[in-house]
Amino acid sequence: MANFQNAPTEQASAPTSRIPTPALAAAAWQRLVLSHSPEIRPALRVGFGLAIPGAALMLLGHVDLMVYAVFGSVVGMYGRSPHRLQRLKDQVLAGTMMLCAGISGIVIAPWGPDGWALVAGGIFWACASSLTTDRYGLKPGGSFFPVFAFGALASLPVGQSPSTAGLAAFVLTALFCIVLGQTARFGAAARGFPGHEPIGWPDALRRSACYASVVLLAGTLAIGLQLEHLQWVMAGAVVPLAAGNARGRLRRGVHRVAGTVAGLVVLLGIYYLQLPELALGVVIIALMFPAEGYMTRNYGLALSFFTPLIMLMLELADPSVNADVLWERAAGNLLGVLAGILGALLFDRKPR
């Protein structure tokens, strides 16, 4: 018989395998990409829509024109449709709307409009953009971007004549974003597109009148309180109206306030670094990516990136801006949000 006593005994021990750190990082990144897949591609497209023109401005030594490029790149935010032809229609329509609002602000900037003149322009563009976005189902809806583009560009100190260089940067960036939108491939990320829901003329006209009433209310309060920076008051006032009911408007207003406060904290951190103008231009471009990425996912979080972006681009355009001006703008934004919530309760009680 074979003697098995001296045979070597094999110890069955389960090998302990360790997952390398790069593999864990790759897995975490994959989970992040999958959880944010509907937002990543549009965010990259909008981000590059600012990054390329912004880089060109910095190479040409015109970082002060970044504010015009930022508003031009907003046209890219309207290109979320997964269908190429529909995306082109949306961006051409939105581009026309943004260009008309922004160019009107650029043209009247040498006259330094303020008070009732600025409020009148804000009312006009709030009505016009509300009708456009509602009738054609554009996303993002509402009047925030056209109203703010008009008010901000009309309030820039440009001297005795309109800024032709700023006008060129604004128009060329908007056109570039439309072209870039036609090269984008959405694939599975198209699931994140909210879809077109055009609103009939009666409801669209009613909502347009509500926008006009809210901007008038906010402007009246700001002028009565002798607040400057009416463009921030008007822009804040139209934000809550983008939601369809009272609870949604209150939630959106809260997100606006919380996001603005968080953005000011981020801004203070950037100021602490005391970066040169060129580095601030890079920061503005970098902030556009997460701002667009979270715009439909978490509005408050998106504003924590968008608020310092706006503040920095306006500071580059007007170096005389100081801390007091920044806080006045934030206070005007808060007043506008409160006026918007109050105005929606008074003038638009019918939910969508």
Provide the 10 A C-beta neighbour count for residue 84: 15
Q: 3-state SS string over 164-200? A: HHHHHHHHHHHHHHHHHHHHCCCHHHHHHCCCCCCCC
Output the pLDDT for position 192.
Answer: 46
Output the pLDDT for position 183.
Answer: 84
Tokens matching residue 168: 């060129």
Output the pLDDT for position 21.
Answer: 67
d(CA 77, CA 292): 7
243 backbone dihedrals φ, ψ, rounded to 5°: -80, 160
User: In which domain, by residue range, is 125 found?
Assistant: 37-347
- Whether 256 is covered by a domain: the verdict is yes
In the predicted model, residues of the chain with pLDDT beneath 70 are 1-38, 184-196, 244-246, 349-352
> How many angstroms separate the Cα of 313 from the Cα of each of 2, 167, 187, 231, 298?
88, 15, 33, 15, 23
Output the pLDDT for position 328.
Answer: 87
- Whether 16 is covered by a domain: the verdict is no
Output the pLDDT for position 77.
Answer: 93
- Whether 95 is covered by a domain: the verdict is yes
- Whether 22 is covered by a domain: the verdict is no
> How many angstroms separate the Cα of 130 from the Cα of each of 29, 77, 255, 336?
39, 16, 21, 17
d(CA 342, CA 246): 10
- Whether 23 is covered by a domain: the verdict is no
- Whether 13 is covered by a domain: the verdict is no
Q: Are residues 101 and 125 in contact, defined by beta-carbon separation less than 8 angstroms?
A: yes
Number of domains in the chain: 1
Q: 3-state SS string over the chain? A: CCCCCCCCCCCCCCCCCCCCHHHHHHHHHHHHHHHCHHHHHHHHHHHHHHHHHHHHHHHCCCHHHHHHHHHHHHHHHHCCCCCHHHHHHHHHHHHHHHHHHHHHHHHHHHHCCCHHHHHHHHHHHHHHHHHHHHHHCCCCCCCHHHHHHHHHHHCCCCCCCCCHHHHHHHHHHHHHHHHHHHHCCCHHHHHHCCCCCCCCHHHHHHHHHHHHHHHHHHHHHHHHCCCCCHHHHHHHHHCHHHCCCHHHHHHHHHHHHHHHHHHHHHHHHHHHHCCCHHHHHHHHHHHHHHHHHCCCCCHHHHHHHHHHHHHHHHHHHCCCCCHHHHHHHHHHHHHHHHHHHHHHHHHCCCCC
- Whether 209 is covered by a domain: the verdict is yes
- Whether 8 is covered by a domain: the verdict is no
Q: How far apart are the first and last CA of the chain?
A: 90
pLDDT per position as a tens digit, 204-256: 999 999 999 999 999 999 999 998 889 999 999 998 887 766 677 788 888 88
d(CA 192, CA 246): 25
